[in-house]
Structure 1
Amino acid sequence: MTPRHPERRTERLRLRQWSEADLDALAEMDADPDVMRYIGDGSTGTRERTAAALGRVRAAWDERGHGLFAAEETATGELVGWVGLAVPAFLPEVMPAVEIGWRLRRRSWGRGYATEAAREVLAFAFGEAESESGSEAEADTRLERVVSICHVDNHASLRIMTKLGMTYDRTTRVPAHGQPVRVMALTREEYHSSA
């Protein structure tokens, strides 16, 4: 099967593949202590670490047929962050699993972008045709279940998970750094029954 690199659109966002030109904005986001507060152990990233992560993100699409989308504001072309699907290997107790997640630049917070983009990513995850741009559906993605994981104090992310229809799965700790996290989940059946 030929690897696919889809693009999706929402009312205000273009969810696209990554380019080298995205590195500056991504590195700025990863270096922001407010953005990284609830990510991993809370430490900020360096440009070098961000560049390496960007390479892994791009490779994930070829390996798995899904990954993290660059989220770009349609009106301005500005990168607001990312939203997408990843394998949460950092939390072995939930494996095998696919996680939906997001990270936005601080100046893009509070606009509903994460929820808007995550809804489109769920449609992609569960194999629904794209409604906004009319491009070809990625119908064989069709995951059966997705999880979302956030630090227990990250109330903004928890609100998004709840808006997406996700329900509580468990509270646990990440083995690598001991941070407490909440795991939420949504099955394809639950997604379709609530649509």
Structure 2
Amino acid sequence: MTEVTRLHTERLLLREWRDADREPFAALNDDPAVMEHFPAHLTREASDAMADQIASFIDEHGWGLWAVEVVETGEFVGFTGLSIPRFEAAFTPCVEVGWRLARSAWGKGYATEAARASVAHGFGPLGLDEIVAMVVPGNERSQGVMRKLGMTRDETADFDHPLVVEGSPVRRHRLYRLTREDWEPAPR
């Protein structure tokens, strides 16, 4: 097992997953608003399997889709971090920044704050040259976070997500990119 990196921001802790995260994670994965831009809600079993997969990746690599905890309250509000897509496309292999937060955490800037810390870790200690993000065209909230990170849409790279069934309204995705050269960490 590799040493797990924890990231601290002004208001958040990005950390390893705990058993206590499973119930609130299952709840957010079953929330219609949270899952609006995903193919389906997750059952408790599917949510637990996803948590196991994420935790195993972090154990192996020391980084990944960290559990996000609000420092002031200790509340688990979802995940944010870096991952390696498990499909092939014109832009893979790559590292992706992603997030999924409970509705109670929306509108507070948590996604941007946590994603900014994740990207900084990717370009800093991990030495990545580029980080991508993928999004359904209708997901304006996530595209707003991507723009706040300084990411730009690669209009030549829109794609049908191979892990989403044909005919699904969320199969089409946009690709956003950010290079190390274009990354501007938030001023302190």
Q: TM-score, normalised by structure 2?
A: 0.89
Partner of 2:37: 38
* Residue 89 of structure 1: how far off its partner (Å): 2.2
| Structure 1: gaps spanning 5 or more residues | 128-138
Partner of 1:165: 150
Distance 1:92 1:144 in 2: 18
Higher helix share: 1
Distance 1:13 1:120 in 2: 10
* Residue 118 of structure 1: how far off its partner (Å): 0.6
* Residue 189 of structure 1: how far off its partner (Å): 1.7
Task: Say which SS state the counterpart of residue 66 (structure 2) adopts.
Answer: strand
Distance 1:4 1:94 in 2: 29
Distance 1:18 1:152 in 2: 30
Change (3 A) 1:153 1:91: farther
Partner of 1:136: none
For the aligned residue pairs, the C-alpha RMSD in angstroms reads: 1.7
Partner of 1:131: none
| Structure 2: gaps spanning 5 or more residues | none
* Residue 171 of structure 1: how far off its partner (Å): 1.6
Q: Following superposition of structure 1 onto structure 2, how do residues 140-179 of structure 1 map, counting pairs within 5 Å?
A: 141-169=126-154, 170-176=157-163, 177-178=165-166, 179=171
Q: TM-score, normalised by structure 1?
A: 0.86
Question: 2:136, 2:172 within 8 Å by CA — same for their partners in 1?
Answer: yes
Distance 1:102 1:3 in 2: 23
Task: Say which SS state the counterpart of residue 162 (structure 1) adopts.
Answer: helix
Distance 1:26 1:111 in 2: 19
